[in-house]
Structures are given as structure tokens and as C-alpha cells.
Structure 1
Amino acid sequence: MSTTILLIRHGETAWNAVRRLQGHIDIGLNDEGLRQAAALGEALAGAPLAAVISSDLQRARQTAQAVAGQHGIALQTDAMLRERCYGAFEGMLYADIARRYPAEYLEWQARHIDAVMPAGERTAESFRQFYRRAVDGVVRWAGRYAGQTIAVVAHGGVLECAYRAAVGMSLDSPRDFQVKNASVNRFVCSAGKLTLTEWGDVGHLGAPAIDELG
């Protein structure tokens, strides 16, 4: 029995807008992100949602609550759906990472999937470790709501992992698709396998959304 998943990236934050790496740092939405979340909630008001689940970081929770509130559903949170942990890179501008950690930055940009950034307040994850966590998290929730439709609000990296899993894209290949704030991305999950049905829907926003990695 298949589950329909509306996989959504959180709305914009001030750090997204200036290309500052967030990771597990708990940043809230900026004014534009709050507007995006409200528009998202209205757009999905008629969707037949059995559950709304989000990462436990507030930028995802704020976005998801705008959807859950339209349905009178209690929001469920899951740390498995957090963004990748980037260790010492977290909180830094991309340009500053390149200057301060040139070798590690080059490994990251070259998509060495088992490379791990220097530890900071938290221990970083390799891309392979993160991919397994993120995909397992999404698939696990799909299994809990087999045959139904759920909304899952997470982060750009989580959406990237789900996309790669669904289309069979290797982990070390360049990302050639956008992951925009407050975008709705539709998947079907059957027998633990994700299939992509629609990517990058931002028609509800009425204004451009950013992908700061693009």
C-alpha cells in the first residue's frame, strides 16, 4: 500500500538570504519565510492530509505549523528530519568557510561523500551518513501512514536526499536541481521505496523563492 508524501522545504530564513550555513543551528523564519509559510498553509488547506510532520528545528516547525493549523492536526516532530550537521562550518558564510577551511571546503564542494568536516559545537556528518538518516526518516513516516497522504516539512539537504533516492541519482554527482524555500515536492512511497511524482512546486508563493546553493 503506497503513501503520498508532500515533502516541503521550510520557508526562508535570514541566513538563507545571505548564504550562511545553518545545519543544526536553530534559526527561525524571517518575515518572508513567515509569508511563505502562510501561503503554503492556505495552498494545502484542501489537501487530504492524515498527518503533518516536521524536523524539530524551529524553521521547519514554524513552516509546518502553518499547514497543520489549517487542518486542526497536532504537529509531530522528528530529529531524524533535521538538516545535515556541518560541525565547525555551521554559522559561517560560505565564503568564509572557503577561506578558513580551504582543504575541507574543497572536499565538500567536490562531493567526497565520506568526508567529514571539522567538529565544532557538534560532530559533523558525512554526506553518506546524512543520506541514510534523512531517507530512513522520510520512509519511516510513510510506513506509519500507509495508504494515506502526509506532509513532511524538512530542510534542503533532506529534500536533496529524497530526490536522489527516488530517481536513483548517485551521491557523488553534482546537484543539478533546485531546492527552493517553501517548495512542495510530491513523492509516493511503496514497500520502502520513494518515487518522485512532482518537483519544485512554488506556484502558491506568488513571488520568487531562493535556493541559496544554486
Structure 2
Amino acid sequence: MTHPAVTRILAIRHGETAWNVDSRIQGHLDIPLNAVGREQARRLALSVAGEDLTAIYCSDLSRAHATASAVAESVGLPLSVDKGLRERSFGAFEGLSFKEIEQRWPDQALRWRQRDPLFAAEGGENLQTFYARCVGAVRALAERHAGEHIAVVAHGGVMDCLYRAASRLELHAPRSWELGNASINRLLYMPEGFTLVGWNDKSHLEGPALDEFSDGERQGMTT
């Protein structure tokens, strides 16, 4: 039996967008799901229809909101928006590919690639600020729903931070885990912190979901 203080969390990354395909940094730009992403959201919704969820939260950006809307409809729950679940803001980098960023600002691209926790593109967030914001938002939701089972639909960067929080990994540690579009990740939250239960489950999708982190993103970038 689950301890009454434990919150079970389905942490879900949004479905695919055209900019995922092009490896362009989305950040706070509101890029919608493409046709593949909409199909991923549909399959995701079918796969979680039997989950005993009590609440569903999502980022206010449309790629996460559309994915979460499909889940909410499948389980018959209202959808709540939390801006704390937004992707990291990348400021001047948004809309550009890593190669374009590297060509324009090679020194900044290196700091980003090395996961400097204090680095922020002009007008954007550094990793420390982003981590505190998104992990803090999920922690607050988990504490609000202690003993329940909730879904959180957000972005690759948010998933990365949750993985690190649950695995007790430093922000500057290289990433070795996947963050597939419309993937399901399972965590527990107790007052002591997050615990990882399962990661990057894509069994509900046909074929591998596109992983936009195949380039610089595997070195520490999020979109």
C-alpha cells in the first residue's frame, strides 16, 4: 500500500512540434504540435485512460496544453494550467538551431553546452533559476495532492530537471537519458523529495519518438 504522504506523478513531455523536427530552440515561443505530435497525444491519451488520476496540470504553452487536453479528456478530469511548468526561457537563442547559435555566439554556445548553471542567453533564464522554478512548481503541486496520483504535462527541460531532482544529480552533470516526445515518466514525491520509478516509456507510440536532443541538446540544451 502506498504511504498516505506519497504523491504519484505522471510526468509527460509534450508531443512533437515542427521545431522539434528542425532542432530549433522553442523555449517560451508558443509552437503548436504538428500532425505527428497530435497523433502522439491521441495515443498517449488512450494509454493513460485507465490511470486513477485525480488532477492534471500543464504548462500554458500550446504544445503542452494540447497534449494535456487529450489526456484530460480521456480520464474525464478538468485541466489546470501552471505557468511554473513552462520550458526554460532561452531569450535571444529562441527560434535558432544550435548550429546557428554556435556560429553567432561560439563562447556562449560553449558555456551552454557545458551546462554552466549560471549561464543565460540574453533575456533568458540560467539553469539554476529554471530548475528552482519548475521543480518548485511540481513540488508544490505534489504537496497540494499528497497521497494522490497526478499528471504533469510539460517540456523536455522540465523533464530533465525532474530526472535530476529524483536522481540527485547536479545541474552540470552530462545528460545520458532520453526525453522522448509524449513519453511517460513516473515519479514519487514524499517530504524527503522525489524518487524515480520509471522513465521515457514510449511503448504507447508506434516507432521511436523524435528526440530533438540528438545534437547539442544531449550536451545540455533544452527547447
Count residues with an aligned counterpart: 210
CA distance in 1, matches of 2:166, 2:32: 29
The yes-or-no answer on 1:94 pairing with 2:98 is: yes
2:67 counterpart SS class: helix
The yes-or-no answer on 1:20 pairing with 2:24 is: yes
2:115 counterpart SS class: coil
Partner of 2:33: 29
5+ residue gaps, structure 2, are: 215-223
- AA aligned to 1:46 is G
Partner of 1:64: 68
TM-score if structure 1 supplies the norm length?
0.96
CA apart distance, 1:192: 5.5
Question: Which segment drifts farther, 179-188 or 191-200?
Answer: 191-200
- AA aligned to 2:196 is L
CA distance in 1, matches of 2:133, 2:111: 21
CA distance in 1, matches of 2:211, 2:137: 23
Taking only aligned residues, the RMSD between alpha carbons, in angstroms, comes to 0.8
Question: Which segment drifts farther, 30-39 or 105-114?
Answer: 105-114
Partner of 1:4: 8
CA distance in 1, matches of 2:193, 2:131: 14
CA distance in 1, matches of 2:107, 2:121: 10
1:147 counterpart SS class: coil
Partner of 1:156: 156
The answer on whether the counterparts of 2:48 and 2:75 sit within 8 Å (CA) in structure 1 is no
2:139 counterpart SS class: helix
5+ residue gaps, structure 1, are: none
Partner of 1:131: 131
Partner of 2:188: 188
Partner of 2:111: 107
1:34 counterpart SS class: helix
CA distance in 1, matches of 2:26, 2:110: 19
TM-score if structure 2 supplies the norm length?
0.93
CA distance in 2, matches of 1:196, 1:48: 19
- AA aligned to 1:45 is A
Percent of aligned positions that are identical: 47
Runs of 4+ in structure 1 off by over 6 angstroms are none
